[in-house]
Amino acid sequence: MPPAPLFWLVALLLAAASVTALVWPLLRSRAREAIAEDVATTDVYRDQKRQLDEEVAAGAITQAERDAQVDELATRLSHELDERVATTPEPPARSSYVAALILVAVIPVAALALYATFGSPAALRADAPTAESKMSAEQIDELVGKLAARMKERPEDPKGWQLLARTYAALGRFDESVAAYKEAAARGAPDASLYADWADAVAMRDQSLAGEASQLIAQALALDPNDPKALALAATAALQRKDFAGAIADWRKLKAQFPPQSDEAKSIDAMIAEADAAQRGEGQPSGGATSAPSESASAATANVSPAANAAITGRVSLDAKLRDRVAAGDTLFIYARAATGSRMPLAVLRLPATDLPHDFRLDDSLAMTPAAKLSAASEVIVEARISKTGGAAPAPGDLRGTSGPLAPGAHDVLIVINDVVR
């Protein structure tokens, strides 16, 4: 039974029980009072008859005298009972019924009015928006601002800086993400996964795995030669340098960490096959130099994710009538969100808007929070938006396009940016 009908059924039963508990004594009290009075009167006359019997037995009176007095008692009892029936006032009984009717009418109505005033009627609607579904991009930015303010008050917390850095990266604010990772590394113990995440943020900021990103990848592997994300990033960087042998070596190190028949191992085998084919001049690997660096890094880490089968791939293009609205500094966001409920993105990509048309891949490695992942959703909508301000929150003048509802794992999704945010 849906929540709302069940609630009202329980409420109705409780109201009925309350009304019954209050009304029943009103309806029964007059009858009980009359019966009690009659029983008391009868008991008095019964005692008098018993006394007459005892006097006869003691010889104090004769049997004839006893019978005459008993007849007199019976007559008096009959008259008294008849007189009580005739003189019982009607208004009190009627007032009890009136009170009962008032309670029956007032209690349910009063309960409903009080609930409507002080309760949460909207919560009973199956489609009522929850606090989570009402969270807008502005509210998300506000929460991030509070976290940033807390880190300024408590700057010695490396885990806090790391959380802030990951949040900035999920929002596409890579300059701030890189700065936060730097703070986390300066205040915490050396950690390979932190350096790998830091390298990923730098690559997204610079749109390249060369330079600073490669140095951070090397530091991560120096701390842990088997760190999965660092190996995936190193392999992708090698592919972009067309160092196919180095990429294959890194992929093989990564593959050794998974069971031979696992999905992760099969995905890595596919990457090795592409790199090997490119090495032999038979084709260009998907993570090669022609691919955007940010997409290559994301695809690399997604290939080793347990939820790799939930990844969504496709292409975003721009409607010809909107081409003159795109400027060189505009930012392209591609993200997936749940088809119903919260609008918080489950996976986000941030790219230069000039990269259109663009092939994309969304997966759990691009999640904003560990608790909200693409692979956990039953149905999602993919949206592409060109931001004029570079911010994550939609603004008037932005350009966007959306897909219909999709199941995680959908491929060849086509999205056309053909609408203007008003």
Instruction: Summarize pLDDT for 184-213 with one digit per residue, the tens.
Output: 999 988 899 999 999 988 888 887 788 899
Q: Which two tokens stand for residue 201?
A: 């943020």
Binned at pLDDT 50, 70 and 90, residue 50 comes out as confident
Question: Is there a domain that residue 227 lies in?
Answer: yes
Report the alpha-carbon distance of residue 402 to residue 335 in Å, rounded.
10
**Count of Cβ atoms closer than 10 Å to residue 353 Cβ:** 24
Binned at pLDDT 50, 70 and 90, residue 105 comes out as low
Question: Is there a domain that residue 61 lies in?
Answer: yes
Mean of the pLDDT values across residues 32-48?
Answer: 56
Report the alpha-carbon distance of residue 209 to residue 256 in Å, rounded.
24
Query: Quick one: pLDDT at residue 127?
Result: 44
Report the alpha-carbon distance of residue 64 to residue 381 in Å, rounded.
107
Residue 329: which of 273, 387, 243 has the closest Cα? Answer: 387
Q: 157-167: b or e for each residue (b if 16 or more CB lie within 10 Å)? A: bbebbbbbbbb
Same domain, 163 and 79: no
| Residue 98 pLDDT exceeds 60 | no
Query: Quick one: pLDDT at residue 287?
Result: 41
User: For the residues of 337-396, what is the DSSP string, one character each?
Assistant: EESSS---EEEEEEEEGGG-SEEEEE-GGG-SBTTB-GGG-SSEEEEEEEESS--SS--T
Mean of the pLDDT values across residues 149-161?
Answer: 89
Same domain, 249 and 275: yes
Higher pLDDT, 69 or 283: 69
Give how many domains the chain has, as a whole number: 3
Helix (H) or strand (E) holding 315: strand 312-318
Write out the residue range of the structural domain in which residue 107 sits.
3-124
Same domain, 142 and 19: no
For residue 79, the one-letter residue type is: H
Q: Which two tokens stand for residue 245?
A: 């042998």
Question: Is there a domain that residue 300 lies in?
Answer: no
For the chain, state the CA radius of gyration: 41
Mean of the pLDDT values across residues 316-332?
Answer: 89
Q: Are 147 and 163 in contact (CB under 8 A)?
A: yes
- Cα dihedral: 13, 16, 17, 21 (round 10): 180
Phi, psi (rounded to 5 degrees) for 383? -125, 140
pLDDT tens-digit profile of 250-307? 989 988 988 888 877 887 888 888 788 877 775 544 443 334 444 444 444 444 444 5
Domain stop point among 82, 102, 124: 124
Does the N-terminal peptide bond of residue 357 adopt cis geometry, omega within 30 degrees of 0?
yes
Same domain, 150 and 266: yes
Cα–Cα distances in angstroms (integers) from residue 282 to residues 128, 235, 269, 292, in the given order:
56, 19, 17, 21
| Residue 21 pLDDT exceeds 80 | no
Mean of the pLDDT values across residues 128-152?
Answer: 68
Higher pLDDT, 131 or 379: 379
Mean per-residue pLDDT over the chain, rounded: 74
Binned at pLDDT 50, 70 and 90, residue 51 comes out as confident
| Residue 96 pLDDT exceeds 70 | no
Query: Quick one: pLDDT at residue 129?
Result: 45
Please, which residues have CB within 8 angstroms of residue 46's CB and are 6 or more apart in sequence?
none
406: three-class secondary structure by DSSP: strand
Domain stop point among 103, 124, 145: 124
Percentage above 70 pLDDT, the chain: 64
Domain stop point among 254, 271, 295: 295
Query: Quick one: pLDDT at residue 206?
Result: 80
Same domain, 152 and 279: yes
Query: Quick one: pLDDT at residue 371?
Result: 62
Question: Is there a domain that residue 289 lies in?
Answer: yes
Same domain, 161 and 32: no
